[in-house]
Amino acid sequence: MTLHTTPVLPRTPRKLENLIGGKWFSPSDEMVRNSPAHGVPVTVVPLATEADVDQAVAAAKSRFDNGGWSDLPAAARAEVLLRAADLIVERCDELSLAETLEAGKPLWQSVNEIKGAADIWRFAAGQARAIHGQTFNNFGSKSLGLVLREPIGVVGLITPWNFPFFILAERLPFILGAGCTVVMKPSEHTSTTTIMMGRILEDAGLPEGVVNIVTGLGEPVGRRIAEHQDIDMVSFTGSTRVGRSTIIASAGNIKKLSLELGGKNPVIVMADANLEKAADGIVYGILHNAGQCCVSGSRLLVAREVEQALTERIVSLMQRVKVGDPLVPETRVGPIVNDIQFNRIKKLVDDGRKSGATLLTGGRQIEPLAGYFLAPTFLADIRSDMAISGEEVFGPVLAVSAFDTKDEALRMANHTRYGLSATVWTEGLQDGLDLVRGVKAGRVWLNTTITGGPEMPIGGYRESGQGRETGLSGIEEYTEVKSILADLGERGPWVP
């Protein structure tokens, strides 16, 4: 970690403003966000109204229609993205602390995410310059076919609280690089770094009205974005429940949607796996960000002959890992994001136990500080009728089941309505390839987990979403395709 200042809790909460058409202002209503680790107020978040969203959309549409961004050479847009990347790195300390105070994640992790985000902005700048279409010079000498990619228009961008700045980076520079304008709404729990990004973009030379930010609650702000007739596309990242309501709200003008939703992600451990490596990876995969990752590996499926050896290793690591103050460098696991989530997770664990699940470790609140901390939790004897076996928990809770054959492992892995990610641990090439090819998920890891780079596309199968962000074609998500057929000769009469 390379922080240049010593992190301290703020004496007074930071007051945020919204950005519409290049002007910063404060909607009259507001809410206070407390640090989930320390219980002290850290941010005052404006609660925008439907009318604020309408104004933001009007500003984004006006900028899109009147030029000054979508019609610039991609190289000019890329310059802004690259300057923004430099400013993200320059402001890393401030961004990281804000992220940790609102999201509760360890500060060293926030630093890594902010630096990783800068890298994505740079990648997207390159992608912007690579947008291209196709030509068809094979219609004969009198016709020419052109396929153009054009920016789709005004994009609504709705993001969750678990990786506020990183998820923003996986989407916003691609939207901007494509030439679109944006109205964005961060989660009400973690709005600060999105607002800071607005300032960074101003300082990087982004023209007014290209990026507009409205903060506040899903209802009305997110819903109004999803249903707005002048928004051409919505990129939504969040729960499958709200994703489904976004599909319905977006139907009015048949918006294009990119949806990155929930997961119930399997981790398959074959008998020949390196158990030491696998155990560490599994513990990281479920405790990273306190299990609040869309790709957290929460369903452990293990070959019966190594079940005991593996579970013992996992229990020992879970009992050793440091849970506590995210401002302390040794901390690996911070708090749950808020009391509602904490109580939901606790209830899923308690109900599972009442229905016969065995608690191997954890399952209780711990109180290193005032916030909502759950001891890393590991459950066995899970049955498919228990809520904990099918529902996304979104917390530091792992559940184990055993299998006897590879086919059974694959059946169990695919027995879910989700399809976001999966992880396979094996030393066998054949088994490894069979499993990574057989599992139905948008992201799959073999002998590692929760890692990657902007080169790789992300997204889900089934109820985990639709569309793909990042990757070599990530920027194309935010474009429309236009076919042009030009007649270069004498077009013959249709009516003789």
Type of residue at 260? E
Residues in CB range of 13: below 8 A, 6 or more apart? 32, 33, 41, 42, 43, 44
Contacts of 175 (CB under 8 A, 6+ apart): 155, 157, 182, 235, 478
Q: What is the DSSP secondary-structure string of 98-150?
A: HHHHHH---HHHHHHHHHHHHHHHHHHHHHHHH---EEE--S-TTEEEEEEEE
CB of 337 to ligand NAD, least distance (A): 8
Which residue among the candidates 188, 227, 260, 463 is catalytic per the annotation?
Answer: 260
CB of residue 48 vs ligand NAD: minimum separation in angstroms?
A: 11
Residues in contact with ligand NAD by CB under 6 A are 158-162, 167, 185, 187-188, 218-219, 222-223, 226, 237-239, 242, 245-246, 260-263, 294, 392, 394, 420, 460, 465
Buried b / exposed e over 187-197, threshold 16 CB at 10 Å, is bbbbbbbbbbb
What is the CB-side half-sphere exposure of residue 351 using CA atoms within 13 A?
14
Nearer Cβ to ligand NAD (310/441): 441
Minimum distance from residue 61 beta carbon to ligand NAD (Å): 19
Report the residue number, 179 or 262, with the smaller CB distance to ligand NAD.
262
Cβ proximity to ligand NAD, 263 vs 471, nearer residue: 263
| Nearer to ligand NAD among residue 69 and residue 163 (C-beta) | 163
Query: Which of 35/361 has CB closer to ligand NAD?
Result: 35
Q: DSSP letter string over 307-335? A: HHHHHHHHHHHHHHS-BS-TTSTT--B--
Nearer to ligand NAD, 222 or 324 (CB): 222
In the complex, minimum distance from the CB of residue 305 to ligand NAD, in angstroms, rounded to a whole number: 33
476 is catalytic: no
Distance CA 3, CA 236 (A): 32
Nearer to ligand NAD, 191 or 426 (CB): 191
Would you say 418 and 241 are in contact if contact means Cβ atoms under 8 Å apart?
no
- Three-state DSSP state, 234: strand
Q: Which among 427, 351, 349 has a CA at the least distance from the CA of 395? A: 349
Residue 132 is encoded by which pair of tokens? 């291209």
Backbone angles phi, psi at 175, to 5 degrees: -60, -45
Q: What's the min distance (Å) between Cβ of 137 and ligand NAD?
A: 40
Which of these is catalytic: 180, 294, 463, 477? 294
Rank residues 101 and 293 by Cβ distance to ligand NAD and give the closer one.
Answer: 293
For the CB of residue 162, give the shortest distance to ligand NAD in the complex, in Å.
5
Minimal distance, residue 458 CB to ligand NAD, in Å: 6
Report yes or no: 113 and 97 within 8 Å, Cβ to Cβ: no
Tally the residues of the chain.
496
Q: Which is nearer to ligand NAD, 153 or 262 (CB)?
A: 262
- Cα angle vertex 104, ends 98, 105, to 5°? 90
Rounded to whole angstroms, the Cα distance separating 438 from 430 reads 12
260 is catalytic: yes
* Rounded least distance, CB 190 to ligand NAD, Å: 8
For the beta sheet containing 181-185, the strands, ordered from the edge strand earlier in sequence to the opposite edge, are 23-25, 18-20, 211-213, 181-185, 154-158, 233-237, 256-260, 465-466
The least distance separating ligand NAD from the CB of residue 312, rounded to whole angstroms, comes to 30
Q: Which of 64, 51, 11 is nearest to 175 (CA)?
A: 64
Bridging pattern class, strands 373-374 and 465-466: unpaired
Q: Residue 330, class by beta-carbon neighbours within 10 Å (0-12 exposed, 13-18 middle, 19+ buried)?
A: exposed
Could you say which DSSP state residue 288 is in?
G
Active-site residues, by number, are 260, 294
